[in-house]
Homo-oligomer: A and B are copies of this chain.
């Protein structure tokens, strides 16, 4: 009985946070190990459904690069990358679309449904949610796109009907063609369009590190100015740079707070929301 009372007491500790975030939109970039390890996956999904039930409005944008590479391999296609971006011919973008919008997206939708929520998968084409164009530049990367416009009407419709929107990062070109969009960028732009309270990146690292090789050197708090300085510092891993740029853009466009947290820690989403400390790195406008 004493144990039950303690549990109940923990629930009431969450009250100030529930109150604070009630009715607020949280955009969650879901990727990395937390999307592969079955246990972590279940944990993340439960955390998201809980968020919805206590009045937060979660919006999920998922990645899935690894799954795309897997199918390409099976089909005998080799993945080619130029400065970190996948060269994407017609066949590759079709594979990406099938895997992301067909397999990964619907698998998340189905897991949320099973955990007691009600999810709706949205491709960037549905309701022309993500409009884009091919990335310009020296190398022709094919159907790699940058975002020209977010139409948030469908996301808001789905959210207001108590569904959880789950978005796959496939954009729609001006001629209707499919475009491979970076999921971090998509998350950042969608958070901006929704004027989200929080944009949370579920990653495989503890946050932004002061020393690249020291996992314990997490910087707990950054403002936008420091964020810009980090971009040109050597301390930052190459994989983190586009994330940083996405963060800067999102803050400039009105997102309140950004969190880079470690999806390998169980319930890292809830910890972020329901503790004063959170975890990882928190980035704010000023």
Contacts and interface: CB of A to CB of B under 8 A. Distances in A.
A111 interface: yes
Nearest to A109: B125
10 contacts: A7-B13, A8-B47, A11-B270, A15-B50, A15-B115, A18-B53, A102-B102, A106-B126, A106-B170, A110-B172
A237 interface: no
A143 interface: no
B53 A9 contact: no
Oligomeric state, in number of copies?
6
A19 B19 CA distance: 18
Interface string A213-227: 000000000000000
Interface string A73-94: 0110000000000000000001
Interface stretch (A116-124, A183-191, A249-257): A116-124
A271 B8 contact: yes
Interface residues of A, number: 75
A176 interface: yes
Contacts of A11: 10-11, 14, 50, 267, 270, 274
A242 interface: no
Given A161-B157, A170-B106, A275-B4, A46 B125 contact: no
